[in-house]
């Protein structure tokens, strides 16, 4: 067990890798009454084709998400009900690259952690239950496919990527989930839910030795083979196509633009790239940035505008968008802003403000047990320690941020997805 105290933020990180390969990261917070645990597997919606023991295997779209739904089933009940009955707040999520099960509680943490580790590591899939779930998830898929946000997002990903399965819905399609059987679920659980492919993150008022001992006692003792996923081969640096347009029941045009970048694979280089990107986007698109305030004042943007940097499924992407009645005007202003940065550089004061603001955001994450646990899980799968951000952030300079912006947000790198209102028929006069 490794224990390190980070003096600059007054936090301690306890780390352990069990003989079975499970990575455990614990941030004790004895001054709080609550605790939070996240048990995650490096397996998401994009891990549809993978190699195991030298053989490539294909699975239907939506298996990871389907597994998440069914993992709460136990021979003697439902894990959600068990955890909730003890006053815990349990939940789970599936992204393109991760499935995570988590809970927060103020009492009976040990019992809740035991339940979490047990049900996630012990599959129980009855054929009739799987068939019933196909109907439930199928209904969810139909509902979400009719929402503007879904159409906007996945149309953009289909513009950016030609083959990476991140372009397809994590939930799959009604047709693809119809192919899922209990055998499919058992097989994918065995492959991806082995401790060597998982991590446990715990934050709060806990006994680290007890957490590690419990994981050691409940989970399989032997390491498993970590599968190699196929994300569709190398993508071009530029988008697969430049734009997508759709019409739906919306009150004003909604837009989402983005670009893809080559992610650093592991370790501090990945953490550094993430920080540079997040500071760059804050400087360019943040609520106090010249770009946003100018376009807001001109009526081109409103409070719906958001942005993010997302690392997933062997790739990374910049996404930004919102609502505007003049999307072309927004994109023209963006291209002008990037050209200006390329020619004139960045304002040093604005850079320092963005860096300080981002430092403050990272400090606030330390107070959010769920956010910190998520960061610990992300770091475990990418081989970096999130608590190192406070040292690394001070090493980032103005040219790092400028280069990130000009390299990744030039017009040739951008794709645009727009959902416009349906045209109304007007009566003749």
Given the residues 4, 11, 16, 68, select the one marked as catalytic.
68
- List of residues 6+ apart from 343 with CB closer than 8 A: none
| DSSP collapsed to 3 states, the chain | CEEEEECCCCEEEEEEECCCCCEEEEEECCCCCCEEEEEEECCCCCCCEEEECCEEEECCCCHHHHHHHHCCEECCEEHHHHHHHCCCEEEEEECCCCEEEEEEECCCHHHHHHHHHHHHHCCCCCHHHHHHHHHHHHHHHHHHCCCHHHHHHHHHHHHHCCCCHHHCCCCCCHHHHCCCCHHHHHHHHHHHCCHHHEEEEEEECCCHHHHHHHHHHHCCCCCCCCCEECCCCCCCCCCCCCEEEEEECCCCCEEEEEEEECCCCCHHHHHHHHHHHHHHHHHHHCCCCHHHHHHHHCCCCCCCCEEEEEEECCEEEEEEEEECCCHHHHHHHHHHHHHHHHHHCCCHHHHHHHHHHHHHHHHHHCCCHHHHHHHHHHHHHHCCCHHHHHHHHHHCCHHHHHHHHHHHCCHHHCEEEEEEECCCCCCCC
- List of residues 6+ apart from 214 with CB closer than 8 A: 110, 113, 114, 117
**Contact indicator for 39, 102 with CB cutoff of 8 Å:** yes
Tokens of 171: 């939930």
Closest to 56 (Cα-Cα) out of 183, 314, 316, 232 = 232
**Contact indicator for 101, 71 with CB cutoff of 8 Å:** yes
Is 228 an active-site residue? no
Which are the catalytic amino acids? 68
């Amino acid at each position: 067990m490794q224990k390190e105290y980070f003096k600059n933020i007054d936090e301690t990180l306890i780390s352990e890798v069990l003989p079975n390969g499970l990575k455990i990261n614990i941030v004790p917070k004895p001054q709080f009454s609550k605790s939070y645990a996240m048990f995650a597997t490096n397996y998401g919606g994009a891990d549809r084709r993978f190699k195991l023991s030298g053989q490539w295997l294909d699975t239907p779209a939506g298996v990871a998400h389907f597994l998440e739904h069914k993992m709460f089933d136990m021979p003697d009940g439902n894990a959600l009900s068990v955890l909730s009955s003890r006053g815990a707040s349990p939940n789970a999520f599936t992204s393109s690259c991760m499935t995570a099960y988590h809970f927060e509680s103020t009492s009976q943490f040990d019992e809740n952690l035991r339940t979490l580790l047990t049900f996630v590591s012990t599959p129980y899939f009855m054929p009739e239950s799987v068939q019933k779930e196909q109907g439930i998830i199928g209904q969810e898929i139909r509902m979400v496919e009719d929402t503007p946000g879904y159409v906007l997002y996945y149309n953009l990903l289909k513009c950016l990527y030609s083959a990476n399965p991140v372009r397809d819905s994590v939930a799959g399609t009604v047709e693809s989930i119809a192919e899922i059987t209990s055998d499919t679920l058992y097989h994918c659980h065995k492959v991806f839910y082995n401790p060597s492919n998982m991590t446990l993150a715990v934050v709060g008022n806990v006994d680290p030795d007890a957490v590690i001992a419990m994981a050691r006692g409940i989970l399989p003792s032997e390491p498993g083979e970590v599968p190699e996923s196929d994300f569709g081969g190398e993508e071009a640096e530029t988008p697969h196509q430049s734009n997508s347009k759709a019409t739906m029941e919306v009150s004003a045009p909604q837009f989402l633009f983005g670009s893809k970048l080559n992610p650093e694979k592991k370790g501090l280089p990945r953490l550094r790239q993430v920080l540079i990107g997040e500071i760059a986007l804050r400087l360019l698109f943040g609520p106090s940035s010249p770009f946003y305030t100018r376009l807001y004042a001109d009526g081109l943007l409103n409070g719906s505008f958001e942005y993010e940097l997302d690392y997933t499924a062997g790739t990374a992407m910049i996404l930004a968008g919102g609502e505007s009645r003049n999307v072309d005007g927004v994109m023209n202003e963006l291209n002008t802003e990037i050209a200006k940065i390329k020619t004139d550089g960045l304002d040093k004061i604005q850079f320092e403000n963005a860096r300080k603001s981002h430092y403050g955001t990272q400090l606030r994450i330390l107070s959010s047990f769920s956010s910190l646990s998520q960061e610990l899980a992300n770091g475990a799968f990418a081989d970096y320690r999130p608590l190192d951000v406070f040292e690394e952030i001070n090493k980032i300079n103005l040219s790092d941020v400028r280069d990130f912006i000009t390299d990744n947000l030039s017009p040739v790198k951008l794709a645009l997805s727009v959902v416009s209102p349906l045209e109304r028929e007007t009566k003749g006069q």
